[in-house]
Structure 1
Amino acid sequence: MQLQQLSTFITQVEQALQVAPDEVRRLFHGRGRRWEGLEQITCDWLQGQLVVSLFKAVDEEFLNALRQALVALAEGDLWQQRDGRCILLQHRYESGAPAEVISGELESRPVVVENGLKYQLHLGSNQNAGLFFDMRLGREWVQQNAKHANVLNLFAYTCGFSVAAIAGGADQVVNLDMAGASLSKGRENHKLNGHNVQQVKFMAHDIFKSWGKIKKNGPYDLVIIDPPSFQKGSFALTKDYKKILRRLPDLLTENGKVMACVNSPAVGSEFIVDSMQEEAPEIQFVERLDNPPEFADIDAEASLKVMLFERKPD
């Protein structure tokens, strides 16, 4: 990280904050590598709270200058105009991702809005806040394509796709994730939006040991696959993704759709398309969804890949 680039970071954050909607939004995405010397810093707007994340250790000079620049931001007119309340600096490179409050008082459990839907976040104590902002257009697509659908949401985390699906008129969503605590947060997200949780199932199971239970709730009109790149002891992307794809023909309806996602810079979009052709050739590639413009990357293949497929009847 380069100290002389810090003014560029603050300028970009201020420009983005001026036009940001009253929803959660990434303001600066250094990891897209469009600003040399700022590749390991991001900034997110959480409707009154600003979260700046460092993904690599920096020297004390840079860190102190960053703190001072953020304090100056909090004392400016723009911050007052946007009703800014807190600036949080998170050290994502350290174990436990510790965070420090730079200005204001942290609201650690804020309810935020995206595409008109509410989500409960958890700030200051975890690497991830509870919603992956780069998947905004993916959730929007699900909401627009879920009417009367039976939806399977694999690796559901806090059930963002499920919330979008029910909001879009899905008849049922089945959420599966090994982390029961994350699914509990997903249940609360549904309740925040006034959804009927009787339409939603929460299964805290290992996907590879649960195909019988998964199939029992099918067939599905839409299957969403959004796994971690690697989860020790449970999922290795390049090895295990294909195991899921080969199960799809038994899970999908005649014209069922699949949203298959991968967010590893080491794995390109061709991996998903080629793997689907190999494991389930009757399920054909349709298109790749765009990522939100605020997540622009100099290499599209290194960024989030959201690939859409549809089963074509014989």
Structure 2
Amino acid sequence: MNAESLPVLEQHLLSALSSPPQEIRRLFHGRGRCWPGLEQLTVDWLQNQLLVSLFKEPDQAFLSELRAMLARMTETEQWQASGAVSMLLHYRDRDGSPLECLWGVINDYPQVKENGHSYQLDLGRKQNNGLFLDMRNGRQWVHDNAKGMKVLNLFAYTCGFSVAAIAGGADSVVNLDMARAALERGRESHRLNGHNLNQVRFLGHDLFKSWGKVRKLGPYDMVIIDPPTFQKGSFALTRDYRKILRRLPELLTEEGLVLACVNDPYLTSDFLIDEMNEEAPDLKFSERLPNPPEFEDINPESSLKAMVFRR
């Protein structure tokens, strides 16, 4: 990271805060490599908290200049009129991913809105806060297509897709993830939206040891697959994704939909298309969902790939 690039970030943020978003949004996406010298930095607006995230430990000169620039921002008219209650600095590359409050008072468990739906976040305890903002259009697609459907949400994490599906009129959703604490966060998000939890199941299981249970609860009209690139001891994308795809014919209804996702910068959209053709050839590629405009990437194939397949 290059301290000489910080004036660009400062102007970008002041412009964004002159009319702050009403919902949770990314304000600056250095990870897309469109801003030289700022590739390991992102800034998110959590409706009234500004979250600056460092994905790589910077040198002391950069960190000092960044802190000074952020301190100057809190004295501007844009900041004071934004309604912000805190400014946070997240060291994602440090042990424990510590979160530092630079200004104001942190709200550890903010409730935020996206596409009109409420989500419960959890700040300062892990690398991720509970909602991947680049998947906003994916959650909207699920909302728009899930009416009357039985939905299976694999690698559900905090159940963002589940919230969108029930809000869109899905009959039921089965969420599966090994992280039971994340599923509990998802349960809370459903409560925030006033959803009937009798329509939602939360399975804290290892998918590859639970095929029988998953199949028994089906068949499903929609299957969502949004796995991590790597999860120690349980999942490696290039090795294990195909094991899921080959099970799709037995999980889906005759006209079932699949939203399959990959967020590995080294794998292109052809990876999913080729793997699906080999493992579940009756599922045909339909479309790749566009990423939100604020997630501009110098190479679109390095960014999130959210791909729709239809039987």
Q: What TM-score, normalized to structure 1?
A: 0.98
Corresponding residue pairs, total: 311
Partner of 2:54: 54
Distance of 1:265 and 1:50 partners within structure 2 = 26
Partner of 1:200: 200
Partner of 2:220: 220
The equivalences for 1:15-26 within 5 A come to 15-26=15-26
Contact kept? 2:137, 2:291, Cα under 8 Å = yes
Partner of 1:273: 273
Partner of 2:109: 109
Contact kept? 2:138, 2:289, Cα under 8 Å = yes
Tell whether 2:119 aligns with 1:119.
Answer: yes
Q: State the Cα distance separating 1:157 from its structure 2 match.
A: 0.2
Deviates more, 1:14-23 or 1:252-261: 14-23
Q: State the Cα distance separating 1:268 from its structure 2 match.
A: 1.0
Contact kept? 1:146, 1:168, Cα under 8 Å = yes
Q: Point out where structure 1 has 5 or more consecutive residues left out of the alignment.
A: none
Q: State the Cα distance separating 1:62 from its structure 2 match.
A: 1.3
Partner of 1:286: 286
Amino acid at match of 2:180: G
Contact kept? 2:21, 2:45, Cα under 8 Å = no
Contact kept? 1:46, 1:112, Cα under 8 Å = yes
Tell whether 2:177 aligns with 1:177.
Answer: yes
SS at match of 1:87: strand
Q: State the Cα distance separating 1:18 from its structure 2 match.
A: 2.8
Contact kept? 2:20, 2:82, Cα under 8 Å = no
Partner of 1:140: 140
Q: State the Cα distance separating 1:20 from its structure 2 match.
A: 3.9
Distance of 1:255 and 1:247 partners within structure 2 = 15
Identity among equivalent pairs (%) = 61
Q: State the Cα distance separating 1:10 from its structure 2 match.
A: 1.1
Distance of 2:269 and 2:15 partners within structure 1 = 32
Q: Deviations over 1:257-280 (max 9, x none)?
A: 000001011111100000000000
Q: State the Cα distance separating 1:17 from its structure 2 match.
A: 2.6
Runs of 4+ in 1 over 3 A off after TM superposition: none
Distance of 2:161 and 2:20 partners within structure 1 = 23
Contact kept? 1:261, 1:307, Cα under 8 Å = yes
Distance of 1:122 and 1:74 partners within structure 2 = 24
Q: State the Cα distance separating 1:68 from its structure 2 match.
A: 1.3
Amino acid at match of 2:194: G
SS at match of 2:109: coil
Amino acid at match of 2:48: G
Amino acid at match of 1:115: N
Partner of 2:76: 76
Distance of 2:125 and 2:74 partners within structure 1 = 22
Partner of 1:3: 3
SS at match of 2:18: helix
The equivalences for 1:30-49 within 5 A come to 30-49=30-49
Partner of 2:246: 246
Contact kept? 1:153, 1:175, Cα under 8 Å = yes
Q: Deviations over 1:157-210 (max 9, x none)?
A: 000000000000000000000011111111111001000000000001100111
